[in-house]
Chain A
Amino acid sequence: MSQKVYITGLGMISAIGNNVPECFLSLSQSKTGIGKIQYLTTRYKDEFLAGEIKLSNAELADLVGDQNPALNRNSYIAMLAAKEAVLNSGIDTKDGLRTGVISSTTVAGMSKTELYYKDLFKNDEHLDVLDTHDCGDSTERIADYIGNVDYVTTISTACSSAANAIMLGCRMIKHGHLDRVVVGGVDALSKFTFNGFNTLMILDREWCRPFDENRKGLNLGEGAAFVVIEGENALNHRKGKALAELIGYANTNDAYHLTASSPEGFGATLAIQQALALSGLKPTDIDYINMHGTGTPNNDLSESKATVAVFGNQVPKFSSTKAFTGHTLAAAASIEAVISVLSLQNSMIFPNLNFNTPIAETGLIPETTLVHTPLNVILSNSFGFGGNCSSLLFKKA
């Protein structure tokens, strides 16, 4: 039997804080990070709210300690969160064991490229910006920032990207390719993203209301989160401490529509069922679900139906934390992995903000206030455009 895989370090930067302790404080005080747009220059500045990281690019560069002018917001926040996760875990990448970095992003360097896009056709003055545009760039920079990394790869599967990075990292450990992996995702806000989601007409002009009958859409957010996962052999070898165990994961395709989930949540149901099957647990073993819950009419109904399909009339306590952070796209699943581990560690369910009225069709009611309760197993869902559905299962260590 393959070895167990544990989460041993957490790192996160988002609208609710620049590091894990700050994010935890906001979560436990029910303090959202979504507000008026302050940092991104966009024509939608006064029209939409966003979950921005409360730091300018110059402030981020100072925090990272790298003034390379070609670097972009995506790389800065990825480097900060990955470094925090590594320091938190206490791993030493120079100890001879094999370390990997598996990151994910959808917009990559777009927040910077779009500023110089028109100039790039005129002259070569900002050509260096293009060097940092590709999806793989922030991953390479994380690897350099951490040092002594043996394997690097980048996944891009829309809003379930980071879940798939976590899943791949876990498998590479189980199959003996790596001893530990820094896994997660990153997406910085860009005009490109705002324009696109507005074009699709799935943005709420007010605070998003996941699982509410009157929800209108999502709020975009930005962030980066990474976790260090380690095989039990490597962990025991260095006598490290586990924060949680990764006991189940699955990815499926909904095969229904490019930007909408099937009405019955077919792909989501399969993902949850397959993750449960891998863990050997029963639906009744799940203590809490951190939902994808974006606040769009389509996602929340489809996810509710998938939840009912799997759990029947015994739906566990659940909430979406998107109303804290906004929808951080490729980073969402790793941000919610960090939040899930914080829930396990502190025996706390963080509330589903802005909820008033249950969805008529399913009647599901999320937790709307901070709940203190012992938690043993948490399910976390992430679904993306292109029909990509992922579910992860975390167990208290």
Chain B
Amino acid sequence: MNAITSYAHIKHNTVTVNGTVVFKSASSVSIHEFLLESYKFLAMNYPKFHKMDVQCKLAIIATEFALRETALLTENDLAKIAIVFSNHASSLDTDKAYQNSISDKSNYFPSPAIFVYTLPNITIGELAIRHKITGENAFFVCEKFDPALLINYCESLYLNGIDAVIAGWVEAETNNDEAFIFLSESQRNTNKNAIFKPLNQTTLTELYNLT
């Protein structure tokens, strides 16, 4: 049976994993500092992290927290792991940064390092590169967190031969940054910390609203 095996929710400088707060920064701390503190807390060694935009960092950190509670990466074929993300405003946070760099004739400084992040699915690209995941991937732009959309897509992926899915909502938005990442797998994994919740809309809605 397909199950949700772990999830992580980042909101208001707080990381909740499988229902428990595992890391927190003071609310006065900026999102950049919070993400850096999370990176250090996780003792990650991934220099590429530091060049990413906020949305990618949110996704990388939230997924990292969730992955540590499962054996998803080691017990599934990397070509059969899918990534499905969604949000409301695509890549708006970085779009604004890039627009600011080209909209003023006297202060024109377009940078390829920023432009790269003006697509929402770059978030998926960063995650795929980080973990060498080569399965199917999709990014949906929708009004709000949509459990039906994500559950339907996961089910469709499982019907098409995918073994595990990293899915959720990730949005960089000033003072309202959020990442909700859930992992789902088609078979029980051996990590004792993994949870086994049914992969359905009711459960997903509950987990999302819990924190």
Interface residues of A (CB under 8 A from B): 106, 108, 110, 114, 117-118, 134-136, 153-158, 164, 168, 171-172, 175, 177, 191-192, 195-196, 198-201, 250-259, 266-267, 270, 384-388
Contact residues, B118-137 vs A (CB, 8 A): 118-126, 128-129, 131-137
Given contacts A136-B141, A195-B102, A270-B79, contact A253 B152 (CB under 8 A): no
Report Cα–Cα, A170/B93, bound state, in Å: 32
Stretch in B21-29, B109-117, B182-190 touching the partner: B109-117
Q: Are B116 and A252 in contact (CB under 8 A)?
A: no
Given contacts A254-B134, A256-B129, A385-B122, contact A199 B115 (CB under 8 A): yes
Which chain B positions have C-beta within 8 A of A270?
A: 79, 134
Is B89 interfacial (CB 8 A cutoff)?
yes
Q: Are A117 and B90 in contact (CB under 8 A)?
A: no
Q: B118, B125, B143 — which one has the most chain A CB atoms within 10 A of its CB?
A: B125
Within the complex, the shortest CB–CB distance from B94 to chain A, in Å, comes to 11
Q: Are B139 and A155 in contact (CB under 8 A)?
A: yes
Given contacts A155-B138, A155-B140, contact A255 B112 (CB under 8 A): no
Q: Are B98 and A192 in contact (CB under 8 A)?
A: yes
Report Cα–Cα, A200/B114, bound state, in Å: 10
Q: Are A191 and B120 in contact (CB under 8 A)?
A: no
How many residues of chain B have a CB within 8 Å of chain A?
47
Q: Are B124 and A253 in contact (CB under 8 A)?
A: yes
Which chain A positions have C-beta within 8 A of B160?
A: 171
Which chain A positions have C-beta within 8 A of B102?
A: 191-192, 195
Report Cα–Cα, A238/B45, bound state, in Å: 59
Is B44 interfacial (CB 8 A cutoff)?
no
Which chain B residue has the least Cβ–Cβ distance from A202? B112
Which chain A positions have C-beta within 8 A of B98?
A: 192, 195-196
Q: Are A156 and B79 in contact (CB under 8 A)?
A: no
Is B159 interfacial (CB 8 A cutoff)?
yes
Report Cα–Cα, A164/B142, bound state, in Å: 16
Report B10-46 CB contacts with A as 1/0, cut-off 8 Å: 0000000000000000000000000000000000000
Picked from A106, A118, A156, the residue with its CB within 8 Å of the CB of B103 is A118
Picked from B89, B120, B156, the residue with its CB within 8 Å of the CB of A175 is B156
Q: Are A154 and B118 in contact (CB under 8 A)?
A: no
Return the 9 tightest CB-CB contacts between A and B, nearest first: A386-B125, A135-B141, A196-B115, A253-B128, A386-B121, A255-B128, A157-B121, A199-B112, A251-B136
Is B170 interfacial (CB 8 A cutoff)?
no
Which chain B residue has the least Cβ–Cβ distance from A198? B110
Which chain B positions have C-beta within 8 A of A258?
A: 116, 122, 125-126, 129
Q: Are B124 and A153 in contact (CB under 8 A)?
A: no
Report Cα–Cα, A114/B141, bound state, in Å: 20
Within the complex, the shortest CB–CB distance from A197 to chain B, in Å, comes to 8
Which chain A residue has the least Cβ–Cβ distance from B153? A168
Is B204 interfacial (CB 8 A cutoff)?
no
Q: Are A251 and B137 in contact (CB under 8 A)?
A: yes
Q: Are B116 and A154 in contact (CB under 8 A)?
A: no
Within the complex, the shortest CB–CB distance from A168 to chain B, in Å, comes to 7
Which chain B positions have C-beta within 8 A of A168?
A: 138, 153, 156
Q: Are B129 and A257 in contact (CB under 8 A)?
A: yes
Q: Are B132 and A196 in contact (CB under 8 A)?
A: no
Is B73 interfacial (CB 8 A cutoff)?
no
Which chain B positions have C-beta within 8 A of A153?
A: 140, 142, 149
